[in-house]
Structure 1
Amino acid sequence: MLPSVTFLDLETTGATPLRDRITEIALVRFDDGVETLRWQTLINPQQPIPPFIQSLTGINDAMVADAPTFAEVADKLLALLEGSVLAAHNVRFDHGFLKSEFKRIGCNFRTKVLCTVKLSRLLYPQYYSHGIDAIVERHRITGLARHRAMGDVEAILIMLNDARRDLGEEEVRAAALKLMSAPTLPPHIDASLVGELPEAPGVYLFYGENDLPLYIGKSINLRARVLSHFSSDHASSKEMRMTQEMKRFEWIPTAGEFSALLLESRLVKERLPIYNRQLRRERQLCSWRLAPGDTSQPLLTLVHEDEIDPSQLTQLFGTFKSKRQAVETLRKIAEMSHLCVKALGLEPGRNGPCFAYQLKGCKGVCCGQESTEMHALRVQQALIAHKLKIWPYPGKIGIEEYNLENDLRQIHVFEHWVYLGVAVDDDSLQELRTQKTALKFDLDTYKLLLKMLAQKKTRVLDLAG
């Protein structure tokens, strides 16, 4: 299938590499299509194995009490994997645990990987499920110890042998090579650094010759998104130019997509990367403010973002990227609802009918044919769909995200739609909960939070008490 590939499986005390530990390792290595070694061992995780894991795997504390620790087998494992592609079912899980274990002993573990879940999907696209249990059932595999490391490795090997028989060696090889292929990187980009990119949420920054970023982006899968920038099939000449100018990159992991969106928005506004045109802060961001009195002239005034009081949004309508967009939107609303453009402040002059009245597009508040009270009421009704929402909480709230794979927990604190900061532990949460901060409204944050709060799965913490 590949010149050298080692199929590996791990059993662990849990699902989080930064907190849990390995309890068993099994691997089978092939060189030039021939099995060259087979190795398995229990590992002392140096922590209790939870009862649920014991019942699932059959590995208990007594079984691993006299087993070697990971540090004691690390050198041997490195030798067994040297020069070979690491293949595993959901390889991100196994690779993540190996990297964490090696990191604990001061070793930076790097290797090429192949995911046999993805390989199964390519080889058998007609099937929905590609987990080990589904493969065992699909290929009628019997007599293997499920949830033990070597048993799971052997299940994958049987699946691949069936694929060679059913589809042919060349198709299996082509599928593996397709998964292994990666975009051609510019010569100045460290390929080993690319290998460290996690398949997890976060923000990435591309740099040119200096410390000012060329581009800042976010993704729920940093590895896939960053690599997509190096594809030969560039989406635009701008993207091709950007990757040619790029000399290095870095990334910041987050607990989820919302955390990545907030961080991306803040970094773009702070650092103004030249290729982030859409997210770069525009000083023209604005909203329409309705005057408090029915007879006020004009009824609506355009206010810019810096003038908005986040605690008083009841008289604000719309979130516009420019004065032009705000005016065009209001003109359309006036036309649809037969509002007076002069009373709205869109046409100069105070006396006499507006131009729209002459075309029967205004009900005549400008010339006494409609009361100012009725016109003001119709204005509010016409704008109601654009009304900014008042803060629905008694005080501060926290939006919590947790990523199981990197064990990262982030709580984002807000008050009156204003982002106050992120807490990663109880101390920083308490600090944000009690600090007094001048509230500065940001329309991008308002939109992000509004969308997040509309999702039923969002975890909202009441921090007002």
Structure 2
Amino acid sequence: MSLPRRLAIIDVESTGAHPVRDRITEIAILRIEDGEVVASWESLVAPGQPIPPLIREVTGISDEMVADAPPFDTLADTVAALLADCVFVAHSARFDFGFIKNAFARIGREFDAPVLCTVKLSRALFPEHHRHGLDALIERHALVCDARHRAMGDVQALWQFVQGVQGVFAPEVLARAVERAMKAPVQPPGLPEGTLEALPDVPGLYFFLAESEPPAEGREERPLFIGRAQSLRARVKEHFGAHARKGRDAELLTRTRRVEWIETAGELETSLREAELLRRFRPPYNRPQEAGTDVFALRLLRGRKRAPIYECVPIAGTDPAAWDGLHGVFRNRREADNLLREMALLYRLCPRRLGLEQGGAGPCSAHLAKRCAGVCARRETAAEHDARLASALAGVGIKPWPWAGPVLVHEQQADGARQAFHLFDRWCHLGSAEAAGGLPAPLAAVPRAFDVDVWRILGRWLAVPAHLAQVEPLAVQ
């Protein structure tokens, strides 16, 4: 037989996409035996937590609708009986399977079953198509769905799809496709079933955590690792691929018991939030972050006779509009010294006068190697030497702000599901919000505070010409 004899086609609606944090709000099951429907069952489920507005809008299931619904523990025996000895059939099946498995686990019961994913079945049978979501299947195969995003409506559409392919394909072809669609993916050790399948295919940040349950309200949890991605689902799955299971990566995955994520509107929001969270939590498996509070610039001290002939001026948290004669942005002294060494070679400057070499009698080592013009050997005046240094430093540092005042950057996901508005002025981040009305006002009262990470993030983002269309200059009242 091309299809298993006993199928349980199931769909789960929930308060969100996370199989551990979120809860079931509705279940529908069709039990199929030898091609015939022998049981049809559906029920709302009391989730024990509020249903978010976006979920209410998509599913039509409200808090009022589930207020008097039974909790899962009172439905567990019915669900178990309907699924008994059946192949568990669902669209993106590991997602629904994860919710059912975790719901049983929360009441101290085990659940397992062979799984057939209709997304994988569609891909195996119709490889010429790129879209295999349920909406695509409904459109492509003229399926009837009276209540999309309600459990029984989706289940009935899947049953029509299963019946349809059984009538189109030869039994041996369908059998091979079913075998492929039932091949279980490698499940990461320690992670709840369905975690990877629940990750959305959108940009955002993801967190690997050592505890299987979130902390009590009011307590913070330090992530093991924070990552960023254009596609959360694809990037996190890469972490758990076979190529990553060695060395420090393997150690991280062994310690990971939970994955959380934050969806973002785009690259800029992702980068800004990542920088903030890395500084805040300092995850042990991320590259150590240098403190941005020690950032400084150089100011040339004209006419100074003794080395060094410049001073280091702290700039973190200051207003760039107040800077005067500052050059460069440096996180540490090493960065500044590397730049000065490079300039010494290019402009035949004296490393001793630049403070890169200890003072002593006679010419510096660079002059003896004919790489210094000789201010240390009285071959040129200090004024001549320092003029070349000033000329070299003139091109170093923050580029002029391209606009006359603050700007508003608008980002949104490709499908428009999430958007973000960011306010910047003179390379400083003044605030972000999901709606333009949530930004601080009046703009004139918002202080500018320089942050080296924001400066670098914004500079890289603005270097992409296509991004400029998302920038709107604002006038300060």
Shared topology, TM-score over 0.5? yes
Change (3 A) 1:373 1:30: farther
CA offsets 1:354-391 (integer angstroms, 9 cap, x no match): 22112111112334423445433433454566432232
Aligned 8 A contact 2:431 2:439 in 1: no
1:204 matched to which residue of 2?
206
* CA gap 1:448/1:32 in 2 versus in 1, 3 angstroms: farther
Change (3 A) 1:428 1:192: same
Counterpart in the other structure of 1:63: none
Q: What aligned pairs does 1:38-437 form with structure 2 within 5 A after superposition?
A: 84-87=88-91, 120=123, 130=130, 172-173=177-178, 176=181, 181-186=185-190, 189-209=191-211, 211-234=221-244, 236-278=246-288, 280-282=289-291, 286-291=295-300, 293=302, 297-304=307-314, 306=316, 309-311=319-321, 315-349=325-359, 353-383=363-393, 386-405=396-415, 407-431=417-441, 433=443, 435-437=445-447
Distance across 1 between alignment mates of 2:353 and 2:88: 75
Q: Which moved more, 1:115-124 or 1:218-227?
A: 115-124
User: How far off its partner does 1:328 sit?
Assistant: 3.0
Aligned-residue CA RMSD (Å): 5.1
Query: Identity over the aligned pairs, expressed in percent?
Result: 27
Q: Secondary structure at the match of 2:352?
A: helix
Name 1:65's counterpart in structure 2: none
Shift of 1:266: 0.3
Q: Which runs of 5+ in 1 are unaligned?
A: 9-28, 38-68, 96-111, 137-143
Match of 1:440, SS? coil
Distance of 2:370 and 2:232 partners within structure 1: 56
Q: Go from structure 1 to structure 2 and tell me whether the alpha carbon gap of 1:148 and 1:374 turns closer, same or farther (over 3 Å shift).
A: farther
Distance 1:244 1:267, change over 3 A: same
Structure 2 CA distance for partners of 1:426 and 1:150, relative to 1, 3 Å = same
Matched residue of 2:441: which SS?
helix
Deviation at 1:451, TM superposition (A): 0.9
Closer/same/farther in 2, CA of residues 35 and 371 from structure 1, 3 Å limit: farther
Please point out which of 457, 460, 465 is paired with 1:448. 457
Aligned-pair CA distance for 1:401: 0.7
| Closer/same/farther in 2, CA of residues 396 and 283 from structure 1, 3 Å limit | closer
Secondary structure of the structure 2 residue equivalent to 1:400: strand
Deviation of 1:262 (Å): 0.8
Q: Would you say the 8 A contact 1:164–1:172 is kept in 2? A: no
Which deviates further from its counterpart, 439-448 or 402-411?
Answer: 402-411
Letter in 1 for 2:463: A
Across the two proteins, how many residue pairs are aligned to each other?
A: 379
Counterpart of 1:464 in structure 2: which amino acid? A
Q: What letter matches 1:204 in structure 2?
A: Y
Change in CA separation of 1:33 and 1:341 when aligned onto 2, cut-off 3 Å:
farther
Q: TM-score if structure 1 supplies the norm length? A: 0.63
TM-score by length of 2: 0.61
Question: Does the 8 Å contact 2:124/2:180 carry over to 1?
Answer: no
1:184 alignment partner, SS class:
coil
Distance 1:232 1:308 in 2: 47
Structure 1 pair 146–331 and aligned structure 2 pair: CA distance change class (3 A): same
1:448 CA displacement: 0.5
Cα deviation for residue 316 of structure 1 reads: 4.4
Query: How much has 1:269 moved relative to structure 2?
Result: 0.7
TM-superposed deviation, 1:419: 1.7
